[in-house]
Structure 1
Amino acid sequence: MKRPILRALICALLGSVQLASASAQTFPTQTIKLVVPYPPGVTPDITARVLAAKLGDVLGQAVIVDNRLGAGGTIGAAVVAKAPADGYTMLYAPSALLTMTPLMYKKLPYSNADLQPVSFIGYLGYLLVVNNDFPAANLKEFVDYVRAHPKGVRYASYGIGSGTHLSMELFAKQAGLQMEHIPYKSTPTTDVMSAQVQLMLEPYGGQALEVVKAGKLKALGVTPRQRSPEWPNVPSMSEVAPGYDVLGALGIWLPAKTPTAIRQRYLEALGKVMAMPEVKDRFRSLSIEPVNTGPAPMLKTIEKETALWSSLVKELDISLD
């Protein structure tokens, strides 16, 4: 290659790098869209609105929540995966959308590689709740009863292949239980209260938790290995199913080709937001532990959980296509 041509290529490359750097330094200059692939009122949406308000204050630009529903969250994920890689469109969702969901579709309009991890901002589990007439006062009595009545107990979930479905099936497998699964398209809380189904797993921060606090449902267990500070008297389900440990995470992703400098801008802003006492208090009131992990733990979690759920999805022969 002739030297003048080589010099021209180098100058062009340097110019593009300088342009990207300058763009990142001035970022953001317009409204940012935070895509939540779930309906208003559920845990991801509630926390997204807290996050959007504070993140907008720190960045100096409005951050709006955009609920994009459907297909188990994949419609919202596709919106972000195909968005311009300029930092103005983010995905806010549970880690399950990248670990469980892809396992149940033969073909998606995007892949995990189309999304760049930014940070987990909250860890959360599920609460095992039963109706007040269920003949068990604690987790051990619950397990004993279900074992004595194989397939005689019905549990609700937020749908086939949802986190509440797979997490309960994993517990049943590890605890040696057989139950009938009743999937719902919306919250099953009312039916659990009226004993049309006996129990469910409810995400921390979900609608059923206020019902539990009001004494209209009983809480018997939590899915993470560690007990929740908000539910200190509720045992971990690992105490009756050794090795059981389900801890979800809420996180932020950007389109894959978004410049690293823009991701770093978000990390710095998230560090300030997640350190705010009012944000910590709000998250913890929902039994969610506020964090700001950065991208590395996200990649490790996705790899680990994909391996865990892959075998269960195959065993249950779940397909959502």
Structure 2
Amino acid sequence: MQSEMRSIVMSRYGGPEVLEWKTVPVVSLRASEIRIRTIAAAVNHTDLEIRAGNWPIRKPEPFPYVPGVEVVGEVVEAGSSAGRALVGQQVITMMQGLGGVRADRPGGYAEFVTVDASAAGQLPAGTDPLAIAAIGLAGVTAHEGLQRLGPLDGRHVMVTGAAGGVGSAAVSLASALGAHVLGLVSRPEQADYVRALGAERVLASKAGELSLVEPQSLDGVFDTVGAAVFETSVSALKPGGTMSLVGAVGGSDVRFDLWNLIRPVSLTGYSTENLDGTALEAAIATLAHLLAQRAMRTPEWTTMRISEASLAHAALEQGGGKGRILLVP
């Protein structure tokens, strides 16, 4: 194994320009660890929030820091107790201290990533690694967040931020599981894409269509946006309906009518900070099966070089895009 590799490194919080492409040493493997050669590392809003300092790294000395909370790649080396049979296998790993606010390990914006073998899940044979990278953390978040809504077959569900990474995956997955999906997007030009993912109806909040979400019309809401649409989303729930919050890209300060809680409705959510290897393995198996059966569509993706991570962050911050950005070697 080579002694050096290239990686994106941050030495301070700030704008996209703080993401620097540097040569760093390759650390020695512990017995339980595997080394993964990166095929694709998806860019997440989490990465942007951490880079900007909005979600500070929870370490006394946070820098240098390598961003990226997920990666798909090929195992090129395994520790003595990690399972030598894994070498040559394509795997996915995410969260569990990989980058993120915990930063137990350097993140995925690198040529090679080292994690504990128990934190990785094997890709089924014949799976397109870029397709799995595109659905990746977004798909796992969608899978776990939608589970909080209960059985979906025949139910009416709204997905907010439906053109984004997590929202795209949630629309496609909910539709594949039999739900009647209403997608809420930020711009009218995103509507066709979300319909193609399986949404039966799409509304654009910036086109003034938010008022068209009928009160007490939905069995469930899968919310990635938060503040801007929270009150409308809660009011749209039928008595006994459930909202599952998985993100708040629109802000975390919310208001809503407290009388909604008396109808009653349930407010819950999911954070991938709670993800473990067992849940990852199960979610990826479900998602890969639905993709193979063509019951679920992979969100669109754009590839950029890992060395261009600053440009990727800038593009994501500008908004209006579709699907996910994948960083590749």
Greater RCO structure (CA 8 Å; 6+ sep): 1
Question: Which structure has more helix as a fraction of its residues?
Answer: 1
The structure with more radius of gyration: 1
Q: What TM-score comes out, normalization by structure 1 length?
A: 0.33
Question: Which structure has more strand as a fraction of its residues?
Answer: 2
